[in-house]
Structure 1
Amino acid sequence: MKTVSILGSTGSIGCSTIDLLGQAADRYQVDALVGGRNVERLASQAVALRARHAVIAEDGMLDELRDRLAGTGVTAAAGMAAVTEAAARPVDWTMSAITGAVGLAPTLAAIRNGGAVALANKEALVCAGDVMLRAVRDAGATLLPVDSEHNAVFQAMADRQHEEVDSIVLTASGGPFRRSTLEEMEQASPEAALRHPVWSMGAKITIDSASMFNKGLEIIEAARLFGLAEDRIQVLVHPQSVVHGMVQYSDGSVLAQLGAPDMRVPIAHALAWPRRMRTNAPRLDLAQVARLEFEAPDPVRFPALRLAREALRSGGAAPAVLSAANEIAVAAFLERRIGFLDIARLVERVIREIGVQDAETLESVLHWDMEARRVARAHLPTPGSGSRAA
């Protein structure tokens, strides 16, 4: 029986993981579940899966969590220190799905256990790639990508040698503005940007999909995961979201991973790796899909890809600055303080202002993350002013 912990169990990725564990309860023992603020959901998950330990990130919610778990045998804790302690508990497999920079320390703690860590937290490798990869090498840990695109590439590579790979392709749905003009994107509302044509996701990642910042972050993550230079990572817009990733080999062959757009598929692959597990995810019907389209992304309408590639080439703290500034910009857009195209403008301004800085430790990564947020906020218009970002 494999022991598992889930960091971010109450979020969408965490809930999908819980669903899969419920389908194979005889194969997995849940050690720790970590949630953000949803005490009711966390307690329900812990009881249903007979978890040993449950942690809520908010300090003030400990009493409520203890009340809900009274008599169940599940121990309870709260606060970010407790989150990191839970991540450090020795298990065979950890799902790292706490979004944002707050998930970096718990992810690092899980890696240092030396087990398998399923990565659904982009920031781990985007912001602190060098730090995380050093820890992986030192601990003998295994990173298993959960993002559908990286998991697809991981599957298409299998045990093949990296020197046989010419390039990889990450696919993008194109989001709601795939056919929109610059003028239409300039005037786009948050409601329009949140209408994703394929995936059902949280607000932040949905806006990132619309701007293609998610794909920019995935380029950086792919470079870290697969040890590839930036120019060997391609992006293609694929509106059907059926082909999730491809690998082109030196002999001209291209291997692709296909599947229905359901996150339980890559999560199940990571959970059961190196084997596979049966899931109730929908099966792909290519006859129903009928056609698969691919096109190059427009660099003018989607400058996020250029900014991400520049940050990857710059190295150091640049990817962390890009990610943090984008987080502030997306929040400001959702609050109607800036326009949709101002997201990329603000991110670029923050990157230029901070410049290239070293980020050799987790502490330095977090420092530049905070500095990028400070600079980004300084350039935002005041609420209700109606002006664009400074």
Structure 2
Amino acid sequence: MYSAIPEPVSSDTNHQNKKRKVLLLGATGSIGSQTLDILREYPDHFELVGVSAGFSLKKLEEIMKEFPAVQAGGIALNDAPEMLASKKLYRGDNQMCDMIRDLDFDILVNATVGFRGLEPTLKAIEKGKDVALANKESLVCGGDLVLEALQKHGCKLYPIDSEHSAIFQCLQGNRIDQAARLIITASGGSFRNRNRDELEGVSVNEALAHPNWAMGKRITLDSATMVNKAFEVIEAHYLFGIPFDQIETVLHPESIVHSMVEFKDHAIIAQLGSADMHLPIQYALCYPDRMNITEEKPLDMTQTLDLHFKKMDFERYPMLKLAWLVGREKGNRGTVMNAADEQAVELFLDEKIGFLDIETCILEALKNIKNVENPTFEDLKKADSEARQFVRDLF
């Protein structure tokens, strides 16, 4: 199977001879904000030429003022007023793809969340651009379309998710075909010390209290249900070209070992670090170089105390078990799972359903929405819409 990541290169290969022009989508989220930190720290290496900021007009204006090289901004509001005379403003549902079409950039940082991130990923690749990818839904929903586009246009993906960045780093100096297993670690989420009976009636605030990471609401909830880890399994399959039966997950509550690779000789290489996203963002943008990051605190191994690893409990986390079923079935299965989850999470945050109802929504959507083999992007859009409506109609 085709690998979406770059082949390992010599560490003395310097990609920073000229400024890299960056187009950032999703600047207001956790990954987007930390990407801006990296760009601030290395103005001689990077030039932000375009940025999208969801519905936050104020934040968009602040970023466009701070980074003088920005030529254009994108906002999801159709009626957003003009801001800076020297900057172009893109509006509405197509603003991200319109910027990709019109702007001159070297790398796209896709830090959006959800199905809406798939089309910008495809458009950037079709333009011949590499993508630093935090939008896991691009591969969960449209992995086959993305791989086909990558092969056709000769582009690569640079993983930003901490787990996939860890695997990417562990593979340096090794061939992917020598890997026997990818071992993805999981913190267990907000309710890792509760059994399933204790999940009845948990509150939104309890679910959003992740013990290790400061993340957005949806990804924090997906960590609690392990939907996020299921998506990471599917994402790893597409990124690294590894069969599903060679991908495993393990509970690791400290979130210090971000992932591991076991090779055919049974050597295991692990990547360790703080619970901070600056490192994987930097690695994706600077690869193969490593830069000093003042934003991230170094990991003090004398203070980590014991590290614990526990076999995954699929009865406790049934949504994670779905990863292998959904991933192998392909078609629109990833899109249906993701859309059902997105809609169910929104209902839970609005306190219209219970926490365990999120699982019911996903299972029922997968059971009732017909699979489509070899779907086009339009087929996936239809499945996304159908799954969302199906979940809304359940309650």
Classify the TM-score, shorter chain: over 0.9
The answer to whether residue 110 in structure 2 is matched with residue 91 in structure 1 is no
Q: Quick one: which amino acid aligns to residue 24 of structure 2?
A: I
Does the residue aligned with 2:79 lie in a helix, a strand or coil? helix
Report how far residue 298 of structure 1 moved. Answer: 1.6
Contact 2:26 2:111 survives alignment (8 Å): yes
Matches within 5 A, 1:247-326: 247-280=261-294, 281-326=296-341
Report how far residue 360 of structure 1 moved. Answer: 2.6
Q: Quick one: which amino acid aligns to residue 367 of structure 2?
A: R
Cross-structure match for 1:387: none
Gaps of 5+ in 1: 381-390
TM-score by length of 1: 0.93
Query: Can you list the C-alpha shifts for 1:57-116, whole angstroms capped at 9, x where unaligned?
Result: 21111x1xx23x23xx32222122232111233421110112111222112111122222
Q: Quick one: which amino acid aligns to residue 259 of structure 1?
A: G
Report how far residue 371 of structure 1 moved. Answer: 1.0
After superposing the two structures, state which structure 1 stretch, 292-301 or 253-262, moved more: 292-301
After superposing the two structures, state which structure 1 stretch, 275-284 or 143-152, moved more: 275-284
- Residue from 80, 87, 108 that aligns with 1:74: 87
Relative distance call for 1:56 and 1:185 in structure 2 (3 A) is same
Report how far residue 308 of structure 1 moved. Answer: 2.0
Gaps of 5+ in 2: 1-18
Percent identical among aligned pairs is 39
Contact 1:311 1:318 survives alignment (8 Å): yes
Cross-structure match for 2:71: 52
Report how far residue 230 of structure 1 moved. Answer: 1.2
Does the residue aligned with 1:201 lie in a helix, a strand or coil? coil
Contact 2:90 2:98 survives alignment (8 Å): no
User: In 2, distance between residues paired with 1:81 and 1:378?
Assistant: 28
Contact 1:317 1:356 survives alignment (8 Å): yes
Relative distance call for 1:103 and 1:198 in structure 2 (3 A) is same
The answer to whether residue 185 in structure 2 is matched with residue 191 in structure 1 is no
- Residue from 378, 383, 391 that aligns with 1:363: 378
Matches within 5 A, 1:31-180: 31-50=49-68, 51-61=70-80, 63=81, 66-67=82-83, 69-70=84-85, 73-88=86-101, 89-180=103-194
Would you tell me which structure has more helix in proportion to its own residues?
Answer: 1
Relative distance call for 1:98 and 1:359 in structure 2 (3 A) is farther
Does the residue aligned with 2:299 lie in a helix, a strand or coil? coil
- Residue from 9, 14, 19 that aligns with 2:37: 19
Cross-structure match for 2:10: none
TM-score by length of 2: 0.92
Does the residue aligned with 1:127 lie in a helix, a strand or coil? helix
Report how far residue 339 of structure 1 moved. Answer: 1.8
Contact 2:130 2:156 survives alignment (8 Å): yes
User: In 1, distance between residues paired with 2:119 and 2:375?
Assistant: 14
Contact 2:347 2:353 survives alignment (8 Å): yes
Report how far residue 159 of structure 1 moved. Answer: 4.7
Query: Can you list the C-alpha shifts for 1:261-293, whole angstroms capped at 9, x where unaligned?
Result: 111110000011121221111100111111111
Contact 2:163 2:258 survives alignment (8 Å): yes
Q: Quick one: which amino acid aligns to residue 52 of structure 2?
A: V
User: In 1, distance between residues paired with 2:352 and 2:93?
Assistant: 30
User: In 1, distance between residues paired with 2:51 and 2:58?
Assistant: 13
Report how far residue 336 of structure 1 moved. Answer: 2.2
Contact 2:73 2:87 survives alignment (8 Å): yes
The alignment's C-alpha RMSD in Å is 1.3
Cross-structure match for 1:385: none
Contact 1:164 1:250 survives alignment (8 Å): yes
Aligned positions, number:
374
- Residue from 210, 213, 216 that aligns with 1:202: 216
Cross-structure match for 1:349: 364
Q: Quick one: which amino acid aligns to residue 299 of structure 1?
A: F
Query: Can you list the C-alpha shifts for 1:217-246, whole angstroms capped at 9, x where unaligned?
Result: 111111111111111111111111111011
Report how far residue 359 of structure 1 moved. Answer: 4.3
Cross-structure match for 1:336: 351
Does the residue aligned with 2:152 lie in a helix, a strand or coil? helix
